[in-house]
């Protein structure tokens, strides 16, 4: 089981490294009234972090049985 975990960690690390190396092109990102020119990987990173935080908030609200106010 320990070897499987190490193999999975190495595989995902290589996949992430390839993703970073292949997505260095710069793109224009628009959000509300902001416009920025960033590399694709930075945009993907911030999107993933935002989705992770949103998932945590939803999970915590569901766990605590708190209903958000409309």
CA distance 65 to 67: 6
Task: Give the pLDDT confidence of 1-17 residue by residue, as tens digits.
Answer: 788 888 988 998 888 88
> Do 38 and 26 touch, CB atoms closer than 8 A?
yes
pLDDT category at 67 given cuts 50, 70, 90 is: low
**What pTM did the predictor assign?**
0.59
pLDDT at 66: 61
Q: Could you give the CA distance from residue 68 to residue 62 in angstroms, rounded to a whole number? A: 10
Parse the chain into domains and list their residue ranges: 26-70
Give the CA angle between residues 17, 53, 43 to the nearest 5°.
Answer: 45
Give the pLDDT confidence score for residue 39 in this predicted structure: 86
- Which tens digits make up the pLDDT trace of 21-63? 887 888 888 888 888 888 888 888 888 888 889 988 888 888 7
How far is it, in rounded angstroms, from Cα 16 to Cα 10? Answer: 10
């Amino acid at each position: 089981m320990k070897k499987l975990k190490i193999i999975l960690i190495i595989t995902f690390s290589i996949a992430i490294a390839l993703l970073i190396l292949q997505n260095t092109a710069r793109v224009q990102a628009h959000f509300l009234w902001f416009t920025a020119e960033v590399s694709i990987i930075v945009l993907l990173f911030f999107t993933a972090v935002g989705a992770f935080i949103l998932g945590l908030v939803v999970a915590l609200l569901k766990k605590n049985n708190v209903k958000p106010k409309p």
